[in-house]
Amino acid sequence: MNSESSQFNINHVAIIMDGNGRWANLRSHPRVWGHIRGSGVVADIVEAADDFGVKALTLYAFSTENWCRPEGEVKVLFKLLHKFLLKEKARILANDICFKIIGDISNLPSKTKDLIDVLEKESSANKGLKLTFAFGYGSRDEIVMSVNRFFEKNPGKKISVEDISQNLYQDSSEVDLLIRTGGDQRISNFLLWQIAYAELYFTETKWPEFSREEFKKILDQVSKRERRFGAISNSSNLRSNIDLAKLNKATIRG
């Protein structure tokens, strides 16, 4: 980790990596060309997140809704995941990164599932960046799964917010910042529970053109936002106290 680390007060960043297909179409190429180009950006952003002192990075790689895409495009996405795991395994382990996949990966090829299993086990004790790929993932399914898990272990017991959080996918901690590339401004069933108090940032930049420099700029801008979590700012609180004191005096005089 270099001198750029620890300058941002953002622990967990989630990114919806959108715009690959449209980026390719604008250049008169097949959609899969955009996915191939976009896959090369992933390693750069993972490295940047580590350098910038981000503690957890969750990337939306493949949603439950993506199964409706053409079979050829889905197969390319499978191959790109496999290629990423092969290429980046050594760097993930060397940089003390803890790797995890959340979602339903049952339809992945066996060799890819084996790679995932090996990398998750070998990196499980690592203390650096927590890198999570959401693959075959849907947040509504995750929440339903969490509730079912709880009641299987605690039949008849009343469920709480903490119970749901504890039964979500492993390492699904609360998100501080959600970024979506590609210009669309929606969540698309991604980490609905975990982004309850997240800052949202939508950029027109399509994923194949998303850069370390833009990532740093977003982190810098969002770090300057005041996150109140339902409360009010200190300055607003001071004004409220002054106004309340004035109101009390006026009431007493009346």
Mean pLDDT, residues 97-119:
95
pLDDT recorded at residue 244:
60
pLDDT digits (tens, 9 = 90+) for 116-168: 999 999 999 999 999 999 999 999 999 999 999 999 999 999 999 999 999 99
pLDDT digits (tens, 9 = 90+) for 23-70: 999 999 999 999 999 999 999 999 999 999 999 999 999 888 888 888
Residue 20 confidence (pLDDT) above 70: yes
Top pLDDT among 178 and 226 is at 178
Write the DSSP assignment of the chain as a string of letters: --TTTT-S---EEEEE---HHHHHHTTT--HHHHHHHHHHHHHHHHHHHHHTT-SEEEEEEEEGGGGGS-HHHHHHHHHHHHHHHHHHHHHHHHTTPEEEEES--TTS-HHHHHHHHHHHHHHTT--S-EEEEEEEE-HHHHHHHHHHHHHHHSTTPPP-HHHHHHTSSTT-PPPSEEEE-SS-----SSSTTTTTT-EEEE-SS-GGG--HHHHHHHHHHHHTS---TTS--HHHHHHHHHHHHHHHHHHHH-
Query: Which one of the listed residues 66, 95, 126, 189 is annotated catalytic?
Result: 66
Banded model confidence at residue 249, pLDDT cuts 50, 70, 90: low
How far apart CA 136 and CA 44 sit, in angstroms, is 23
Q: Does 189 qualify as catalytic in the annotation?
A: no
pLDDT recorded at residue 42:
96
pTM of the model: 0.87
pLDDT recorded at residue 1:
47
Instruction: Tell the residue number behind the tokens 């005041």, with chain if given.
Output: 226
pLDDT recorded at residue 43:
95
Report the chain's terminal Cα–Cα distance, integer Å. 64
**CATH class of the structural domain 12-253:** alpha beta
- CA distances 231 to 12, 197, 236, Å, are 21, 12, 10
pLDDT recorded at residue 100:
96
Query: Which one of the listed residues 2, 9, 11, 18 is annotated catalytic?
Result: 18
Banded model confidence at residue 230, pLDDT cuts 50, 70, 90: low
The number of residues making up the chain comes to: 254
Residue 252 confidence (pLDDT) above 70: no
pLDDT recorded at residue 72:
87
Q: Does 18 qualify as catalytic in the annotation?
A: yes
pLDDT recorded at residue 67:
81
